[in-house]
Structures are given as C-alpha cells and as structure tokens.
Amino acid sequence: MALPPDRPDFTDLATPSDHKALKRLADMDTSTSTPSDAGLQKRGPSGAVIGALVAPGAPSLFRRKTLSAVLLLLGFVIPIATVVVALVRRNEITSLVLNENFLYALQTIAVLFVLTRMISVIEVIRSRSEGSPRGLASMLAIVGVMLVATPAVWSIARAQDLSGVINDVFVSSGTDKPLAANDDASGDGFKTVLLLGGDEGPGRWALRTDTMILVTIHEESGRMAMISIPRNMYKMKFPPGSAMANEFPQGFPELANAIYPYVFTHEDISATYVRGDLQPEALALASAISYSMNITIDDYVLVNMQGFLEIIDALGGVTLTLDKELPMPGNIPGAKTQYPPFIGPGEVTMDGTTALGFARSRSGDSDYGRMGRQRQLLTAIASQVEGSDILLRFPNLTEIMRWTVRTSLSAGEFSSLVDRLRSGASVKESIGLVPPLINPSNPNFTDITNLIDALQASIRDDVDFPYA
C-alpha cells in the first residue's frame, strides 16, 4: 500500500548496518558488555573456593540454603564454639582433655571440619558453567583441603594418644569402695588420697616409696591438708587375716618404704592383694597405713620420682622462696643438668632436676626436713601452674604421665583433684609425723590417730591447727 504523499519514509533508518549512528551504538554496547564477561571468565571460582575453605557453605548461601546452613553449622560454628569453650574453661582444661567423651567429640569435630570443606569446595566448582575455567580452582581446592586436614589429623592422633594414656595411667579396681578402711576409721566427710613417690625410673615399679603423703580433702568446703609419713617409720601393722598380717603379726620389722618392694618380690603375698588393675604393692601399703592410723584411704597416686623432674620441666619449672641456703644432694642418673652446690636463700627458679634435688636433699637439715620441702614443692606447683600452661604443654605431659604415673583415681577424679589444687583450694594445714610429735622408730599409733582426727576437725571447722 502506498504511503500518503505528506508522510516521511523511515525505511532507511530501520537498517542499523546502513545507519552510522545506530552502528556506533551497537559497537558501544558490545564494548561495554564484553570486558565484564571476560573478567568473570578470567576470575573463575577461585575466590569462592577460598571462601568455602574459610567458612564452608558461605559461597552457596543463596543457591542452596539448607546445605549451606548445615555446612556452616558443622564446619564453622561448632569448631569455633569448641575453641571458645576451651579458652573460657582453660583453668579446667585437665578435666576436658581427660574426659573421654570430650576426646571422642573432638575427633568427630575434626572429621567434620575437613569433610564440610571438601563438600563445600566440590559444590562451588560443580556449580560453575561449563565455560568457566576450573583448573586453578581445582588445584586451589586440593591444596586448601590438604592444609586444613593436617591440623585435623594431628588433633585426631593426639586425642587417640590421650585415650591410650587414660587407659594406661588410670587403672581401675572395678569398684567404688575405698582402697582401705576400718569400720571405725576417721574420714567421714573427707576424701583421702595417698601420694606415693618412688626412686625408680621409666616403667619400673619395684620401688621404695621414699615419699608418702596423705592428702585429705574436706569434700563440702574443698579445704585440704597434707600429712607426711616418714619413710623410716617402723612397725607398720596390717589388717588381721591379711597375708602381710600373717607374715608379720608384730608389725613390719623394716622401714615403711620397704613394704612396696617386699610385696612386689613375694608373688604369693602379692597375689592376695590383686584387685582389678591396681598395683597390689600399693594396696598393701595403703592397707598398712589405713589400719595403723585408723584412717580411710580412698585412692592412691603413684609417681616415679625420676619422671617427676620431667613433669616439672614440661610445666616450665617452679619458683620457691627459701629462708636459708640449702646444700644439694648428689645427682641422680638421668638428670638433665648438674646440681649447683647450694641453692638459696631468696627466690629460686628451679627446673625439674633442681626441684627434685630440693625435694631429696637431707644435708641441710634431715629426713624430716625434706618431708616438709616435698609438701612445700607440691603446694607451689599446684598454685603456679596456669590452665593455659597445661593446654600448651599437654602433649608432652601425657607422654611423661604414661610411664611416670599410676593411680586408682578415675580420669575425672584425678582432673578434679588437679584443678582444685591449681585453682587455689587452700592447703590449710601441713604436718609431718615426725619428732617431737611422733617417734617414727617406735610410733604410738593411737597418738597418730588422735592427731589426724584433730587435724581433720580443724579443716572441717576452718580453725587453726595448733601443731602445724
């Protein structure tokens, strides 16, 4: 149909290729869009892969909400929360790391830490179009997952090691009953733990218990006392009907520190003290102390003293203030450093070797004097060790504990005792069963029983004990 003669003809403008202005517009449109698309192609998914490694699920938050939420929770929120809990509870870190449920949870979190990142980076790479470059992103994903897997694998290995230590160190009697008790024994409202320190080395338990300390704790208040038993106490008695009582009806004729090796070297006697996985020798000694002094003994902790110096070194040493100069004893085998001739007076920072010499020396005073120094050393270690120290040094501590420590306490009870000591639960009193209070060569065990009863009463009532 013909156009009216007065209407202009725009046919020529409809063809962009024939119109220079429209052609320029088309060129401008191409020039503005192409660089942006090229930039996207060049950048690829590498940035998203890094995001997936840092916070799994975050890059796909708007694409797959449910998957992203699960990945973020399991791979980011829970691990961060675990670290926060460990930092907040660092003063109770012993309780955490010796809790097998916590160790299992830690291993699970470590596996999820790696698995969620693997799933997230795979999702990121697969979500890209076919034209997107994936080689660099894939390589970055592989390297990144390997990097995050390394600390996770280390954590799992350490948790398994700790589980092994728990099984080795915390031996069980198979019952909740006290180790040793008489029907009328003192100790109602108290928990009493026998600390034994021997003179042997790694993995050797046929030792003389030169250190014997009763730690009695008032359970309601947390107040505690330490009672040192001389190694040279004679005539220790045993419960009637026991193998040692039948062997020594008039009391043990040697020093008290010889009871442990005597039972160890007499299999017929040792067999009568078998109780679960506990050391029969420790049970025999605990029964002698309990019966002789009429006190309930709930548990024991046995430490090889040559390993004690390793524990102090692992904790970073200990600082004590000495009133006077103390001559040091001869070096023991396995010592890492040589003793100085003297230490003190004044503030002295000790490594494990020096601390052990401080606890062993008899030159400056007597056997009884070193018993007091041993209690002083234990109190100082307990008060100076921080939760962060234990957390940082725990891998070394656990390896040392494996061959140094045996205890009838459960892991939970042991960690509770350590945390209580370290958190400042006061050692209200500290005494030794030594002259002039007690004559170890001819002890009156009734006097000892009365002394311990009075000590526990002062702890319970929070009053000063006159003989401390």
In this structure, the strands spanning 427-432 and 224-228 are parallel
- The amino acid sitting at 3 is L
Contact in structure between 348 and 320 (CB atoms under 8 Å): yes
Q: What is the mean pLDDT of residues 156-176?
A: 79
Its pTM stands at 0.72
Distances (CA, A) of 384 to 135, 149, 339, 360, 381: 54, 35, 23, 21, 5
Q: Give the separation between CA 261 and CA 353, rounded to whole angstroms.
A: 25
Distances (CA, A) of 296 to 187, 291, 421: 6, 8, 21
The pLDDT, as a whole number, for residue 36 is 38
Residue 16 banded pLDDT, cuts 50, 70, 90? very low
**Of 108-122, 209-223, 392-406, minimum mean pLDDT range:** 392-406
The pLDDT, as a whole number, for residue 113 is 92
In the predicted model, is pLDDT for residue 454 greater than 80?
yes
Q: Give the separation between CA 214 and CA 297, rounded to whole angstroms.
A: 8
Q: Is 191 helix (H, G, I), strand (E, B) or coil?
A: strand
The pLDDT, as a whole number, for residue 353 is 83
The pLDDT, as a whole number, for residue 128 is 66
Which parts of 363-462 are beta strand (E)? 405-407, 427-432
In the predicted model, is pLDDT for residue 425 greater than 80?
no
Q: Distance from first CA to last CA of the chain, Å, rounded? A: 126
* Span 249-285, pLDDT tens digits: 999 999 999 999 999 999 999 999 999 889 899 999 9
Contact in structure between 252 and 234 (CB atoms under 8 Å): yes
- The amino acid sitting at 218 is H
What residues contact 92, with CB distance under 8 A and at least 6 apart? Answer: 387, 415, 419
The pLDDT, as a whole number, for residue 38 is 40
The pLDDT, as a whole number, for residue 72 is 92
In the numeric block, the tokens 């003293």 are attached to 305
Q: Give the separation between CA 180 and CA 277, rounded to whole angstroms.
A: 16
The pLDDT, as a whole number, for residue 351 is 87
* Span 45-88, pLDDT tens digits: 678 888 888 889 888 888 888 999 999 999 999 999 988 887 77
The pLDDT, as a whole number, for residue 9 is 52
Question: How confident is the prediction for the chain on average, in pLDDT?
Answer: 79
